[in-house]
Copies of this chain bind each other. A is one copy, B any other.
Amino acid sequence: TPEVDEGVDWVELGLLPTPADPPDNPTTAEKVELGRLLFFDPRLSGSGQIACASCHDPDLGWADGRTTSFGHDREPLRRNAPSVLFAAFQPALFWDGRAGSLEAQAAAVLRNPKEMHADEEIVARLAAVPEYREAFAEVFGPGGVTIDRASRAIAAFERTLVGGRSRFDAFLKGDRAALSDAAISGLDLFRTRARCLNCHHGPALSDGQFHDLGLSYYGRSLEDLGRFAVTGEPADVGRFRTPSLRNVTATAPYMHNGLFELDGVLRMYDAGMATIRPKEDQR
C-alpha cells in the first residue's frame, strides 16, 4: 500500500483515460488533422521560421532538449519547454498554470511577441493558402481563419498526443516481465518511502497542483517566482506545477529552468524532500 502524507488527496497510478474534449471544442478527425498541420507549420510565426514543433519536436520527446528555449530572433526564454505529450491531462498549462486550457495556451503562445509573434498578418498569410481556407471552412464553417480557431484545432491535435504504450502501461495491464526488477523496486520506492506519490500521482503522474521545491532562485539572476506571478499570493512564491513523469527520460533537461539532469533531480530529492512548511508571513 502506498504511503502518502496526511491530507494529500491522492489518486492511484494507472492506465491513462481518453482525454475529455471541452463542450465548446469537440474533437473531430478533420480538426485534429488541421491542428497537426498548424502545429508543424512555421508560417504561424511572425518570422516564418518557427513552428510549435520547433520547441515541441517529436524527435525530442515533443520538447526541445534545451535548458531554456529560444524564441523569436533567438531571444533566450526563461523556461524549459515542457513536452506536449500528456499535456491534455493537466488542468492548468505552463509551469505556473497561467492557462486554463490547451485552447487558451495555444492562443497565448501564438500571440506572444517573444515566442510565435503571430498577429493579423499571420492570419492573412494562412488565409492566403487555399488548403487552409478549405480546411478551416470544413472544420469550423464560414468565418475564415482566426487565431482562436487555429488554437482550437491545435488543442484538438494535442489531445491526441497521449502515448499509452510504455513498458509501464504494459506492466499495469498485467505483463509483469515488462519492468525489470530494478524498475519494480523503484516503483515501490516511488509509491512509498521516497514520497513521490504525494505529488506525482494518478495516471499522468501529476497532481496538477503547485508546489515549492526551493527552486525559485529568489533574489538571484535566475529568479522565477512561479505561480506567485499569476496569483500574487505570497504562499505561491516558488511554486510550480507538478510535471507529468510519463516519458520523462526523453525530456531532459529537467525542472522549469532546465537546470538539472535526471540524476541531479534525484540527488536533490535525496538530499531532503522539500518540506511543506509555510514561512512566518505565509501563515
Taking Cβ atoms with an 8 Å cutoff, the residues of A that contact B are 42, 47-51, 54, 57, 59-60, 65-67, 70, 72-74, 253, 258
* Centre residue among A59, A72, A73 by max chain B CB count within 10 A: A59
* New A-B pairs, 8, CB < 8 Å, besides A49-B72, A51-B74: A47-B48, A49-B74, A50-B74, A54-B74, A57-B66, A59-B67, A59-B258, A60-B60
Cα–Cα distance between A65 and B253 once the two chains are bound (Å): 13
A60 pairs with B66, CB closer than 8 A? yes
**CB atoms of B253 and A42 under 8 A apart:** no
Shortest CB-to-CB span from A256 to chain B, Å, is 16
Copies of this chain present in the complex amount to 2
Most chain B CB inside 10 Å of its own CB: which residue of A49, A65, A67, A73 = A49
Contact status B42-A74, CB under 8 Å: yes
CB-based nearest B residue for A51: B74
Residue of B nearest to A75 (CB): B42
- The minimal Cβ–Cβ distance linking A64 to chain B, given in whole angstroms, is 8
Q: Which residues of B contact A59 (CB under 8 A)?
A: 65-67, 253, 258
Contact yes or no, B49 A73, CB < 8 A: yes
Q: Please name all residues of chain B whose beta carbon is closer than 8 Å to the beta carbon of A65 when the two chains form the complex.
A: 57, 59-60, 65
